[in-house]
Structure 1
Amino acid sequence: MSAAQPVIKRLDHLGLIAAFCHEIGLPSIIDRIIPKYSDHNVSHGDAVLAMILNGLGFHSRTLHMFSDFFETKPVAKLFAKDIEAHHLTDDVLGRTLDALYEADVSALYQAIAEHVVDKLGLKTDSVHLDITSFHVDGEYAQDEDLNAIKLVKGYSRYHRPELNQVVLELICENQAGLPVYMQALSGNTNDAKAFSEVTKRHIHCLKAAQNSRYFTADAALYTEESIRSLDEQQQKFITRVPMTIKSAKEALMNLESEQLSPIGNGYSGCWVDADYGSVSQKWLLIHSE
């Protein structure tokens, strides 16, 4: 009787990724928020972990070939439970993606991020808000769902205005650069409008969770509506004042050279008091050699 042939499974870097996901309790957090009520072997948390491993496994096959990726991997080690490669079907992943959409991906991500920041002991003295975009090729059928994001033309940061795009809004903490909030938006989203929505709807949650002292963003943040909202929530902010504001132009025009104090590296500056939007604040006027 011939001896059984050994079976070789490739762990590679995926062991480190899976171990970290288990350490921060990623699958259990997802399962707690969107529990699976059927008797399937794979929970929503396990399915998300599988998608992370696949995405970071330098692999780009379609969903119906998803289980093939795990055929050569030590699945029991990666998931720490009785799951086999053939359990990871496109139906399982499709149901999980639907559940994530119904639960609000942004809210779910924020809950996970808050837990990770606390687990890693990060001290978020400030958070930084910014927007980026990703262009796409080809034709896309537009969803009739009014809540779905639209792949449309908009301001292109990649100088490809002829292509449709999607916008991603991120808030990152300052110590490790970890995103603590993210929101996918339609390709034609206006930065100032998006920033205004964040300050009204999400700052109080972030402030309670992260206890950040400063909220930082570019000039798109500086609108009367946004800075009033931040002031009402007692959130300090740092941004650039756009030169489209009349009082900002006047402050620069009236600046005398003797008012400037050296800052270093060829820069000098002067602090002035301002109350734009009925919010008491300080502007720093800067001169460069």
Structure 2
Amino acid sequence: MTQEPNPKLPLVLLIPNKILNTIGFVDFIDRTVEWDSRHWKVSPGNLAKAVILATFLKVRIPLFRIQEAFAGIDTEALFGKAVTPKHLNDDAIARALDRISEAKPESLFTTLCLSLYSKFNIAFNRLHSDTTTVSSMEPMNKVTRKTKKGYVF
């Protein structure tokens, strides 16, 4: 009588999973990106969560190996009912990343960071903002100077 391997939940995933759940990461991504649940086996939020959690399993893991990283792990406990490692494949992850890139990822990141500060009462005394502005006083067609290598004007 062969027995199926018992999926496990590695300790290293418990804390990051709890943090992502506390800030509502999956729901936030799912609400923000455009997707249709009828055409996705796993939501974009859960696929993004898989990418994040995979970095705790192996430091450098290519997207096409993420499903291998979750082999033998209780994916239902992390991502919901009926989610198996084969659902976390590179095609599904690429689709999710495409949708995230269409939804202004800079804004998503800022919102998630502020959510972390708020939920965990993280105090910050300084805020560093680095910006660069390039401006020209003349229309571009009137500029006659030519840039020479090694010179700044």
TM class by shorter chain equals 0.7 to 0.9
SS in 1 for 2:11: coil
Q: Deviations over 1:182-209 (max 9, x none)?
A: xxxxxxxxxxxxx145xxxxxxxxxxxx
Question: How far apart are 1:80 and its partner, in Å?
Answer: 3.8
2: CA distance between counterparts of 1:68 and 1:33?
28
Question: How far apart are 1:120 and its partner, in Å?
Answer: 1.5
Structure 2, gaps ≥5 residues long: 134-153
1:33 corresponds to = 32
2:87 corresponds to = 87
2: CA distance between counterparts of 1:6 and 1:72?
7
Question: How far apart are 1:64 and its partner, in Å?
Answer: 2.5
1: CA distance between counterparts of 2:76 and 2:93?
18
2: CA distance between counterparts of 1:80 and 1:22?
12
1:166-245 to 2 correspondences below 5 Å = 195-196=131-132
* More helix by percentage: 2
**CA separation of 1:108 and 1:72: change in aligned 2, threshold 3 A:** same
The one-letter code matched in structure 1 to 2:10 is L
2: CA distance between counterparts of 1:22 and 1:113?
14
* Equivalenced residues, count: 132
The one-letter code matched in structure 2 to 1:15 is L
Q: Deviations over 1:64-91 (max 9, x none)?
A: 2321111121111122443111111111
Q: Which of 1 and 2 has higher RCO (CA within 8 Å, sep 6+)?
A: 2
2:101 corresponds to = 101
Higher alpha-carbon Rg: 1
Question: How far apart are 1:93 and its partner, in Å?
Answer: 0.6
1:1-289 to 2 correspondences below 5 Å = 2=1, 4=3, 7-39=6-38, 40-129=40-129, 195-196=131-132
1: CA distance between counterparts of 2:37 and 2:3?
37
Q: Provide the alpha-carbon RMSD of the alignment.
A: 2.1
Q: Deviations over 1:10-44 (max 9, x none)?
A: 51311221111101111111111114214212111
Q: Is the 8 A contact 1:19 1:78 kept in 2?
A: no
Question: How far apart are 1:121 and its partner, in Å?
Answer: 2.1
Question: How far apart are 1:8 and its partner, in Å?
Answer: 4.7
Q: Is the 8 A contact 1:15 1:78 kept in 2?
A: no
2: CA distance between counterparts of 1:46 and 1:77?
12
Question: How far apart are 1:5 and its partner, in Å?
Answer: 5.2
Question: How far apart are 1:63 and its partner, in Å?
Answer: 2.4
